Amino acid sequence: MPRIVHEFLVWLEERKITEIEAIQPNHIEEFITYNKTRKNKRRDGALSISQFNRYIDVLKKFAEYLHKTHNIQLSINSKRENEEDKIDYIILTVEEIKSLYNVTEETPLGMRDRAMLSIYYGCGLRKSEGTNLEVNDILFDRKLVHVRKSKNNQERYIPITVSNLKYIEQYIYNARSLLLNVDSTEAKLFINEKGNAITGQMLYLRLKKLCEKAKINKEIGLHTLRHSIATHLLQAGVELEQIALFLGHRSLESTQVYTHILNNG
């Protein structure tokens, strides 16, 4: 029996519901709400989005099982959450961004760190967009980054500053070539010490180390860099429509949240 199903049954018992036939749709929804707001048992804070989504997936399968075996109809209205839609209101200042660049080292990994900042802050990419980038997606002659795989399955071209382009060029020619194995054909832009494509989690850990070195005491992730550049562009007077194109938003509604961040900051 999956752990989450066991937790649900225990939760029902605590509410004097001991018969399968007595389970109602509102019971599952209440259990989901309970887990959405409760503290994480292993660390301080609420459940992560991936953990919460796991509850949704398992409970939907359990509802399907009850329908097949006991003819109990339990519809679940709660939806999975998307990390990119959950805006983090923690924004780095321009000075904090500069300090992240300043604490990077003149090593292969340090050059990769600067390239990471150039992609996730300088270009405002989503986590998966950055990890999916290939070397050929950096169009040096046009000063553009080509995003082929986006959340909305729409490609876009993102302008990049000369300084950020220089950092990416340094990484590709002075660092990535050292990390790449002799016989490797890996095309992904970001690779690890073994020459393999790197994960978003590993990039996040590098960012976390940079924050520690820069003495930035904020809980941030790669998405925070994206939110920060959007806020900074808005502060600089860039039109909302242009920021929406830059971020790859389908509608202005997704971009307008940054006006609220700016007004409440």
Beta-carbon-side half-sphere exposure of residue 209 (alpha carbons within 13 Å): 13
Is 249 catalytic? The answer is yes
pLDDT bucket at 51, cuts 50 / 70 / 90: confident
Specify whether the CB–CB gap between 59 and 28 falls below 8 A: yes
Domain boundaries, the chain: 3-81, 94-220
What is the number of other CB atoms lying within 10 angstroms of the CB of residue 70? Answer: 12
pLDDT bucket at 45, cuts 50 / 70 / 90: very low
Is 38 catalytic? The answer is no
Is 223 catalytic? The answer is yes
CATH architecture of 94-220: Orthogonal Bundle (1.10)
In angstroms, the CA 265 to CA 256 distance is: 14
Assess whether pLDDT exceeds 50 at residue 44.
no
Is 61 catalytic? The answer is no
Is 68 catalytic? The answer is no
Determine the 3-state secondary structure of 9 from DSSP.
helix
The single residue of 176, 226, 227, 232 carrying the catalytic annotation is 226
pTM given for the model = 0.68
